[in-house]
Amino acid sequence: MFKSLMMDDYQLTLVQLLERLGTYFPDNDVVTRLADGTIHRYTYRDCYNRSHQLSNALRRLGVKEGDRVGTLGWNTFRHMEAYLAIPTMGAVLHTLNLRLHPHDLAYIADHAGDSVIIADRSLLPLLEQFKGEVKSLRHVIVMPDDGPTPEGYLDYEQLIAGESTDFAYPDIDERSAAAMCYTSGTTGHPKGVVYGHRSSVLHSLTAALPDALGLSERDRVLPVVPMFHANAWSLPYGAALTGASMIFPGPVLQPPVLLDLMAAEKVTIAAGVPTIWNGVLALLDQDASKWDISALRYMLVGGSAAPPAMIEGFKKRHGLDMVHAWGMTEMSPIGSLARVKNKELDAGPEVALGRRASQGYAVPFVDTRHVDDAGTVLPWDGQTMGELEVRGPWVAATYYNNDEQADRFTPDGWFKTGDIVTIDSEGYITITDRSKDVIKSGGEWISTVALENAIMAHPAIMEAAVFAARHPKWDERPLAAVVFKPGQEATKDELNAFLEKDFAKFWLPDDYLVVPEIPKTSVGKFQKIRLREEYGEYLMKGN
């Protein structure tokens, strides 16, 4: 080898991101909407200093390099401080999903070996249900979000108050762990993903690129996506890297509150799952004149498939852009983004919408391929369906202390995503299903995502989820669960007639079940397993 003479041993760590924030962007602001609706506002100078104080306080409590420090909190400035302080003192930030059942939280915090948990005061009733089962837990620190810290707990503010705003960072190896996040499994235990400093830095850098999230120092970023959901899609570290201001929504995520915040704080980028944006669109459709959100550059949407009708609705009726991203907890999370390439910009709105509604093409350093059941790599022809596999510097190489899922990692170094996709000659990925949601009717695959997207384009429909029901003749048939918009309805025949123009007859759902609400997971995705549990036998009963 003719060896490189560059400083290849320079360590990529989150310390550089925190230092960058404090050095170059101290005057940019961080805004939090508190539980009572009041606004907390401070600068990155305060955020930087308080992160150092938190690191000093944790060190005083005995937190050592490699120790796991859990957080149980809404999106707030204190949670941002924890994001910055914990990894840069060499400890591991473990974000706990506050929407999980206490049994799952007990398993996850215990499995991760959390020695400290920093929790919002408003979430203490939840914490108290599981903390006794976390054998490694030594301290609970309370962030007083909605009132004073109760007796018997360490108060975050008191704890950091006397600490120095200088902090002596340890030497951190870029391959050491920085953060952890568990991903829910429908079968087996939750699986822990351990992010490193190097992986987090490289992910943040790539995510910030213009054709990825396009973050800049001038941006004002509202992560509606919770900070416990896959690093809030990289936005906090992306902000540290670029200096973008952060606008944290706190615990209230109702559409009017979000729109108020977007207008008042001149938000330029807002990020959330499709359900959130669907609610915002419905409200704007009622009366858009209430909010001036003209500062908004785009809404980032991901976590599950964004219906084309929603993307088009925002654009056509309100002139607002959405950027659709695909990712996974195991991918830090960003894998691909749906940006229209230059050569297709003039190809007309149909092409543009098709591109924007796809899962897009991979960001740099994420390799993609899709394979059949035998593991044969499939062609990028836009038609052949197979399981998506990925690899790259911020993709998990294994789960934390969990052998149940070892077969998710292939012998030649790829991660099996569990998503069934097509890839076209331009590299655009289209997810047709998660493998566990696939419908096989008489031996043919039917895409639940394609059907849902089409049903949600019907003017009477607010939300629709398509799932497999057992069938005496065809093994499985699609059933749709639908939620109508207020005051609207449609019959099965009308809905099928609406779909017929785009789908073969055998794809059409056997029935439409009107439900008050589609069950959702802890991060707001359709929970089709619950629909299958409830209605899976519906067609066996002669319906």
Is residue 85 part of the contact set for ligand ADP (CB under 6 A)?
Answer: no
19 catalytic? Reply is no
CB of 247 to ligand ADP, least distance (A): 22
β 29-33/39-43 pair status: antiparallel
- 112 HSE (CA, 13 A, CB side): 33
> What whole-number distance in Å separates Cα of residue 450 and Cα of residue 466?
9
Question: Does 527 sit near ligand ADP (CB under 6 A)?
Answer: no
Cis peptide before 333 (omega within 30 of 0): yes
The secondary structure of residue 238, as a DSSP letter, is H
Question: Closer to ligand ADP at the Cβ: 357 or 469?
Answer: 357
Tokens of 291: 């909010």
Cβ-based nearer residue to ligand ADP, 313 or 335: 335
CA distance 34 to 354: 39
Tokens (6 digits) for 330: 């195991």
Secondary structure of residue 197 in the 3-state scheme: helix
Q: Closest distance between ligand ADP and the C-beta of residue 472, in Å?
A: 30
What does the alpha-carbon distance between residue 437 and residue 138 come to, in Å, rounded to a whole number?
41
Q: Do 285 and 313 contact (CB within 8 A), yes or no?
A: yes
Q: Kindly state the helix (H) or strand (E) to which residue 175 belongs, with its residue range.
A: none
Of residues 283 through 302, those in contact with ligand ADP by CB under 6 A are 302
CA distances from 203 to 131, 228, 260 (A): 32, 17, 31
Instruction: State the nearest-atom distance from the C-beta of 250 to ligand ADP, in Å.
Output: 22
Annotated catalytic residue: which of 64, 316, 341, 440?
440
Q: Please give the residue whose beta carbon sits closest to ligand ADP in the complex.
A: 329
Binding to ligand ADP, residues 176-195 (CB under 6 A): 183-184
Among 72, 142, 213, 305, binds ligand ADP (CB under 6 A): 305
User: Of 78 and 324, which has the nearer Cβ to ligand ADP?
Assistant: 324
Half-sphere CA count of 67, side-chain side, radius 13 A: 19
Of 47 and 464, CB closest to ligand ADP? 464
| Residue 417 C-beta: closest distance to ligand ADP, Å | 5
Beta carbon nearer to ligand ADP, 284 or 328: 328
Minimum Å gap between C-beta 132 and ligand ADP is: 26
Intra-chain end-to-end CA distance of the chain, in Å = 70
Among residues 330, 452, 463, 476, the one annotated as catalytic is: 330
User: Is 518 a residue that touches ligand ADP (CB under 6 A)?
Assistant: no
Q: Which is nearer to ligand ADP, 279 or 303 (CB)?
A: 303
Q: What are phi and psi of 116, to 5 degrees?
A: -135, 145
Binding to ligand ADP in span 99-128, by CB under 6 A: none
Q: Are 298 and 310 in contact (CB under 8 A)?
A: no
389 binds ligand ADP (CB under 6 A): no
Cβ atoms of 396 and 193 closer than 8 Å: yes
Does 227 engage in binding with ligand ADP (CB under 6 A)? no
Q: In this structure, are residues 414 and 370 in contact, taking their beta carbons and an 8 Å threshold? A: no
Minimum distance from residue 56 beta carbon to ligand ADP (Å): 34
The Cα–Cα gap between 211 and 537 comes to 45
Instruction: Read off the amino acid at residue 104.
Output: D
User: Taken in order 312, 318, 319, 321, is the CA torsion positive or negative?
Assistant: negative
Helix 77-88, helix 235-242: angle, nearest 10:
80
List 88, 183, 432, 448, catalytic entry? 183
Asked if 445 is an active-site residue, the reply is yes
Is the CB of residue 458 less than 8 Å from the CB of residue 490? yes
From the CB of 86, what's the least distance to ligand ADP, in Å? 21
Choose the binding region for ligand ADP from 136-144, 291-299, 327-335, 531-539 (rule: CB under 6 A).
Answer: 327-335
Q: Does 431 bind ligand ADP (CB under 6 A)?
A: yes
304: contact with ligand ADP by CB under 6 A: yes
Cβ closer to ligand ADP: 172 or 310? Answer: 310
Q: Which of 54, 328, 340, 464 binds ligand ADP (CB under 6 A)?
A: 328
Q: Which is nearer to ligand ADP, 126 or 325 (CB)?
A: 325
Phi, psi (deg, nearest 5) at residue 69: -115, 115
Q: How many CB atoms lie within 10 A of CB 436?
A: 14
Nearer to ligand ADP, 261 or 328 (CB): 328
Best CA proximity match to 26, nearest among 245, 215, 201: 245
Minimum Å distance from CB 337 to ligand ADP?
9
Per-position DSSP letters for 178-190, written without gaps between them? EEEEEE--SSSS-
Asked if 417 interacts with ligand ADP (CB under 6 A), we say yes
Asked if 324 is part of the footprint of ligand ADP (rule: CB under 6 A), the reply reads yes
CB of 389 to ligand ADP, least distance (A): 12
**Catalytic status, residue 440:** yes
Number of shown-chain residues binding ligand ADP (CB under 6 A): 21
Confirm or reject binding of residue 390 to ligand ADP (CB under 6 A). no
The yes or no reply on residue 303 touching ligand ADP (CB under 6 A) is yes
74 a catalytic residue = no
Pairing of strands 322-327, 334-337: antiparallel
Alpha carbons 128 and 123: distance in angstroms, whole number: 9
Instruction: Tell me whether residue 70 or residue 327 sits nearer to ligand ADP (CB atom).
Output: 327
Among 51, 204, 359, 368, the residue binding ligand ADP under the rule CB under 6 A is 359
Catalytic residue among 19, 445, 492, 520: 445
| Cβ at position 325, least distance to ligand ADP in Å | 6
Q: Which residues in this chain contact ligand ADP in the complex, by CB under 6 A?
A: 183-184, 230, 302-305, 324-329, 359, 417-419, 431, 434, 523, 525
- Give me the active site residues, please: 183, 330, 440, 445
